[in-house]
Amino acid sequence: MNIYDTANQLERELRELDQYKKVTECLANIEADEEAKALLDEFRQINVVLQQKQMSGQEITEEDIAHAQGLGQRASENELVKELMTAEQMLNMVVQEINQIITKPLQEMYAQK
């Protein structure tokens, strides 16, 4: 078996994880709720804008920060969005653990230098 076969198998198994299925379920629930969908879309959009500003060296204003914080607060108060964020955190933990396993040889290689 080559490394790409292993990676493709990992991708298939990731889709079968309860954590992955939970995120998929949460996304479907949000898609069915106009308020939650609009809130999540706006929350994601402001995060993209802030990242783009940061990457391009533009100043992030107090207004930008206040807007993002307000959206974050509203998002954390919406049960569907809150549930999605929790599910995403759980899935992200799995992905981080897998990443640590995959990159262990590289970390060891550079630790020897």
User: CATH top-level class for 3-111?
Assistant: mainly alpha
Q: Are 78 and 39 contacting, i.e. CB atoms less than 8 angstroms apart?
A: yes
Q: What share of the chain is helix, strand, coil (3-state, %, to 5)?
A: 90, 0, 10
Statement: residue 113 has pLDDT above 70: no
What is the pTM assigned to this prediction? 0.84
Domains of the chain, by residue range, sit at: 3-111
Q: Residue 112 — pLDDT band, cuts 50, 70, 90?
A: confident
59-88: per-residue pLDDT in tens? 999 999 999 999 999 998 999 999 999 999
